[in-house]
Structure formats: C-alpha cells, structure tokens
Amino acid sequence: MSTISTGAGPSSGTGLPGVPNLGRRRRPVESVIKAVLFCAALLSVLVTVGIIAALIKPVIDFFREVPFGDFFTTEGPYAVLPLVAGTAMTTVIALVVAVPLGLGAAMYLSEYASRRARKVLKPTVELLAGVPSVVYGFFALTFVTPTLLQDLLNLDVGFTNALAAGLVLGVMIVPTVASLSEDALSAVPQSLRQGSLAMGANRMQTTLRVVLPAALSGVAAAVVLGMSRAVGETMIVALAAGAQRNLSWDPRDGMQTMTGFMATTAGGENPVGSTSYNTLFAVGMLLFVITFVINMISIALVRRFRQVY
C-alpha cells in the first residue's frame, strides 16, 4: 500500500481523478473480478444476439415452405398484413387515449404540483403500470365491452373488439408516457419559465408555449416508447381484440394483432417444427424488428433532448 502513496505523490495537474493510478500495479484477482462483471454486462448483448439467432432458423424454415408473397399479403393462411393492421388499429386507439392523458399528467406533475404532491402522485400514476396485463385484458372483456361500450355508450360492438382493447391498452401505457414526459419537462431550465413569466405570461401559456416546445423531443420519445409498448403488449389484445384476422378499419370489429396471433398459436395444437408453428417465429421476428426500430427512434430522441441544455 505504502509504495503506491509514496510512488504516486501529489497528482500533477490531472485534477481529481476517480482512481489514482491503480492500474499501475497488477492485481490478478481484481482483473478476474472485472472480467466476470464484464461478462455479466456482455450478457445483455448476447441476449439480443440470442433473440435474433433464436428467430432466424425457424424463420428460414418458414420462408423455405411459404413464399415471401404469401406472408406479406392480405389473404391466405399465412397472410401477416391483417395482423399488422390489427396491431396498428389497437396501437392508434391506445395512443389517442394515452398521449393526452399522459402528457396532461406530466404537465401537472412538472409545472403545477408541489414537491410533496409530486412525491405522492407520481407513484400513484405508476401503479397503473404495475397491474398485470392479463388483468387489464379481463377488465376489457368483462367490464369495458359489456358495461361501458354496450350499455352506457350504446355502441354496436362485438364480444371482442379492437376499441375496448385499444382503450384499455391506452390506460396501461399512460404511466410510460407520463413518466418520461415528466422527466423531459422537468429538465427544461428554470430560466426559460422565469423569462416567460416575467413577460407577463400565465402558467398555462408558459407551459404550452415555452416548456412544452422546449421539451418536445423528450415528449416525442415518451410517445414513441409508449407506442412500442402498445405494439408489443400481448395479453390485453389476445383477450379483448379477438382471434379473427380482419382487415377492417372499423374499431368496433374484432381483430387479431401480431402478439394476439402469437399467443393463440403458441397456446394451440401446433406440432413444433411444423409450418404453422414456424409462423409464430416469422411473426415474432417482424414484431421484434418493428419494436426495435421504434425503440431506437425513442432512444435517439432522448439523446437529443439531453444534449440541448
């Protein structure tokens, strides 16, 4: 120990380095531990590689038997476009619910709530994310469709429909949108607000015309991430949206989504390795690619809003 302190002496012009020259002396145990920890971190990359590897072989098997054109088409047993359309429909409805509600909650939490109120309210909103999605699915099926849509609103909806699934999906992703938007809004420097208020603007004008535009890329990231959650959510749509492939633009119809199809196929009687079983992986690959692209957009947007200030 003492050799280090005498050897290093007062540090010359490097300021306050976190670790002063500990790399100079070899420490085998330390290196081994570091390597082990590095492997644990590397595992996360391996998981991604693993997902792709896991998907690729069945997907290749699938496309060997089913031509590309039979997959990306609207009709036929392997057509994926009706599933994509169902996913798009439920996602759009979910965003219509979640974006205003999530953004409103975020604006209240960051601009209006006192510190103490925020400490209570934020975890309360986040409770919504803790409810299991199968419970939301059950709720959509047994309450939202029969009681809310059919009895109270008198809508002519089926037992399973995209509307109920989308609405409940929207409620589920409110915390995702609210939490990330709140971070972005809170990161806007106080001086911008003070400037706006000093010019005579009230809190609403400050929030809507100064803080929100300044935080726009962060808010956009929140919305995009919420969209990714909605695209990938399974149990709500598997239960409430229905299991019939339907290329319709009427949200009152039942529709099957990509994730709903995967749940049905995996839970059904399909022998492993058969073409119908491999469809599962083809759809899974498509889902992974879509959510991957959406996530990357969201991450890039977050980077941008962090760098502005």
Mask: binding to other proteins, 207-226, rule CB under 8 A, as x and -? xx----------------x-
Task: Tell me if 84 contacts other proteins by CB under 8 A.
Answer: no
Task: Tell me if 9 contacts other proteins by CB under 8 A.
Answer: no
Under rule CB under 8 A, which residues in 134-173 are in contact with other proteins?
134-139, 141-143, 171
Q: Select from 4, 96, 153, 199 the one that contacts other proteins (CB under 8 A).
A: 4
Residues 261, 223: Cα–Cα separation, whole Å: 25
Q: Select from 9, 13, 19, 120 the one that contacts other proteins (CB under 8 A).
A: 19
Asked whether the beta carbons of 149 and 163 are under 8 A apart, the reply is: yes
Task: Tell me if 298 contacts other proteins by CB under 8 A.
Answer: yes
**163 vs 239, which CB is nearer to other proteins?**
239
**168 vs 214, which CB is nearer to other proteins?**
168
**13 vs 18, which CB is nearer to other proteins?**
18
Residues 291, 54: Cα–Cα separation, whole Å: 17
What distance lies between CA 120 and its chain's CA centroid? 24
Asked whether the beta carbons of 128 and 167 are under 8 A apart, the reply is: no
**Min. distance of Cβ 275 from other proteins in angstroms?**
17
Under rule CB under 8 A, which residues in 222-251 are in contact with other proteins?
225, 228-229, 231-235, 238-239
Residues 88, 94: Cα–Cα separation, whole Å: 10
Q: Select from 8, 96, 296, 308 the one that contacts other proteins (CB under 8 A).
A: 296
**Min. distance of Cβ 208 from other proteins in angstroms?**
8
Phi, psi of 254 (to 5 degrees): -80, 145
Structure tokens at 38: 């590095």
**69 vs 116, which CB is nearer to other proteins?**
116
**Min. distance of Cβ 176 from other proteins in angstroms?**
9
- Find the part of the chain contacting other proteins (CB under 8 A) among 33-41, 60-68, 71-79, 186-194: 33-41
**13 vs 41, which CB is nearer to other proteins?**
41
Burial of 294 (0-12, 13-18, 19+ CB in 10 A): buried
Helices (H), the chain: 2-8, 28-65, 68-71, 81-107, 115-130, 133-139, 162-186, 190-198, 203-205, 212-214, 216-232, 235-240, 258-267, 275-308
Residues 245, 80: Cα–Cα separation, whole Å: 9
**Min. distance of Cβ 135 from other proteins in angstroms?**
5
Which residue, among 102, 49, 120, has the nearest Cα to 225 in the 3D structure? 102
Task: Tell me if 188 contacts other proteins by CB under 8 A.
Answer: no
Residues 208, 110: Cα–Cα separation, whole Å: 12
Residue 265 vs residues 65, 102, 176: alpha-carbon distances, Å: 18, 33, 29
**Min. distance of Cβ 97 from other proteins in angstroms?**
9
- Find the part of the chain contacting other proteins (CB under 8 A) among 75-83, 88-96, 211-219, 258-266: 258-266
